[in-house]
Structure 1
Amino acid sequence: MNIRWDEITEDSLSHIDKVFKLYDLVFPIVVREPHTIFFNGLHYARHRKLNNFRFLIGFEGEELISFATGHYLEEVNSGFIVYIATNPHARSKGRGSKTLIKMEELITEDAIAAGNSSLNAIILETETEDPVHTKEEKDNCKKRNDFFKRNGFKKSEGISYLQPPLHTKDKAVQLNLFIKNVQKNEQDIKKIIYAIYKEKYYLVNGIDKEVLNNCLIKMELGKKLI
C-alpha cells in the first residue's frame, strides 16, 4: 500500500492528536518536548520566512504510520530534522526511509523557494552509546545510527555536540550529529549548529539565551547568540 502524505499546519490540525499519541508512545519522556513546542513551530513557520518548519505525516488507509518534523534554516541553506518516528505496528518495508526521503524533499523545496539551486546539507541529532545506558538502550541507539547511515548520513567528528536542556531543570546532553552533505561541503557545520540553536532552541523552544550561550561556549563555537 502506498503512503499518503500530508502536513500539519496552523490551519490544518485535524490529525495532531493521533500524532501526539504516537509521539508519546515512541519517544521516552527524557527526550520528549512539551506538545506546546510543536504549536510554537507551526506558528514560527507562518511568521519566520524564509525559514520554515515542516510537520510531515504519513498514512496507509486511515492508519497513521509515520511522522517527521524538521526545520529549513535559510541562513545556512540547511535542514535540521528534529523527530522521525514510525508506528511500531507498521515497521518494516522501508517506511522509515520513505518518511526520511519525503522530509528531505520538503526541505529541499524550502531551499529552492529561498532562491537556492539545491540544499547544502541535512543534519540531525542522535543519542550516543553512553556506557551508563542499558543494553537495550545501546541496541536501540545502534539501530537508529545504522538506519541513518543506510540513508546517506555520516557521523560528524571533531565537535563534542551538546543538545541544550529541553526542560527547565535538565542538563545539556551530549549527542552525536549525523549529517548528509548534499553538496559535499562540511566546513560550515559550526554555522549550522549556531543556526539550529537560534532558530529551533531559542525562537521555537524559548530556551534562555544564557543557557544556550553556555552550551555554545562549551562546544567552543566561538560565537554567542545576540
Structure 2
Amino acid sequence: MTIRWEEITYDNLTNIEKVFEIYDEAFPIEVREPQDIFYQSLDYAKTRLPNGFRFLVGYEGEQLVSFATGHYFAEANIGFIVYIATNPLIRSKGLGTKTLVKIEELLNEDAISAGNVSLRATILETEKQEIVHNEAEKEDCIKRNRFFERNGYKKIDEIQYIQPPLNNGDSNVPLNLFINKNDVSKEEIIKYIQIIYKEKYCFVNRIDKQVLKSCLEMMGIENVHLPS
C-alpha cells in the first residue's frame, strides 16, 4: 500500500468530515472531544509558536485510510499524540504503524524547528478496559494498547493518570499514559503532565481551571503551570 500524506489546516480542510466519521466510530464517547476542539487546535498552532499542532491524514488513491493528531510542546520538548485511527473499511497490515511513524516524524520536525536536536519523548493516552461499554470497544481497547507496546511505547505505572472531562457534565476519566522513552524519571513525567494540562486542556480545550487543578490533585501533582 502506497500512502499519500496530507495535513489538514485552515487552508486545507479537505475531507475533515470524513475524518470525523472515522473518529466518532473509533473512540468511546468519554475520550472524544467536541469537533470544535480540532479547529481550536489549529488556532493554537498559529498563536503559541514554537508549540505546534499536526493534523495528519493518509490516503490510498483518493480514499481516506487513516488520520492522526498531535501537539508539540516546546517547554518540555515533547510530542503529545492525541488521536490516531484507521479507516475500519481498510484491511491493511501495518497501516496504523505507518501513520504513527509519520506523526512522530512531523512532531520531531517541530522539535528541530524549535532549536532541538530531536524530541525528548512522545506521550499519549489510551483507554482502560473499565471505561468501555461493550465487547467491541473492549477488543479495540486491548488492540490499541498492544499496538503502542509493539511500537516502542511503555505504560507509565508511577502515576495513576486522569484525563479531565472533555465534555461539559462529564466526569474525569482514568486512562493509561504511554511514553516512548525508557530513561525518563518520575519528576520528568510529572512535568510533562503539568505541561499537557496547561497547553492542551487549558489553552486548547479551555476546560475550567478548577476542574484541571482538581484532577492534578487527584494524581498527587502540584499545580505549578496552570495560569491563575
| Common fold: TM-score over 0.5 | yes
Question: Which digits, 9 at most, give the CA deviation of each residue in 1:25-71, with x for residues without a partner?
Answer: 22233322111100000011111101001000000000000000000
Distance 2:25 2:223 in 1: 37
**1:90 deviation in Å?**
1.1
Distance 1:12 1:134 in 2: 36
**1:133 deviation in Å?**
5.5
Q: What TM-score, normalized by structure 1, do the two folds share?
A: 0.94
**1:136 deviation in Å?**
3.8
CA 36–2 in structure 1, closer or farther in 2 if over 3 Å, else same:
same
Distance 2:157 2:214 in 1: 21
Unaligned runs of 5+ in 1: none
Indicate the residue corresponding to 1:93 in structure 2.
Answer: 93
| Amino acid paired to 1:50 | P
2:184 paired with 1:185:
yes
CA contact (8 A) 2:124 2:177 kept: yes
Unaligned runs of 5+ in 2: none
| Amino acid paired to 1:153 | Y
CA contact (8 A) 1:56 1:68 kept: yes
Matches within 5 A, 1:37-116: 37-116=37-116
| Amino acid paired to 1:185 | V
* Residue range with higher mean Cα deviation, 163-172 or 136-145: 136-145
CA 167–119 in structure 1, closer or farther in 2 if over 3 Å, else same:
same
| Amino acid paired to 1:105 | E
* CA root-mean-square deviation: 1.6
Distance 2:119 2:146 in 1: 23
Indicate the residue corresponding to 2:175 in structure 1.
Answer: 175
SS of corresponding position for 1:75: coil
**1:93 deviation in Å?**
1.8
| Amino acid paired to 1:193 | I
SS of corresponding position for 2:83: strand
Question: Which digits, 9 at most, give the CA deviation of each residue in 1:61-110, with x for residues without a partner?
Answer: 00000000000011100011000000001133200000000000000000
CA 209–131 in structure 1, closer or farther in 2 if over 3 Å, else same:
closer
CA 21–138 in structure 1, closer or farther in 2 if over 3 Å, else same:
closer
**1:184 deviation in Å?**
3.1
* Residue range with higher mean Cα deviation, 27-36 or 98-107: 27-36
Matches within 5 A, 1:140-179: 140-179=140-179
| Amino acid paired to 1:101 | V
Indicate the residue corresponding to 1:194 in structure 2.
Answer: 194
CA 114–162 in structure 1, closer or farther in 2 if over 3 Å, else same:
same
Distance 1:168 1:133 in 2: 20
CA 56–131 in structure 1, closer or farther in 2 if over 3 Å, else same:
closer
CA contact (8 A) 1:69 1:81 kept: yes
SS of corresponding position for 1:130: helix
CA contact (8 A) 1:154 1:178 kept: yes
Task: State, as a whole percentage, how many aligned pairs show the same letter.
Answer: 59
User: Matched residue pairs, number?
Assistant: 225
**1:12 deviation in Å?**
1.3
Distance 2:39 2:153 in 1: 28
CA contact (8 A) 2:52 2:72 kept: yes
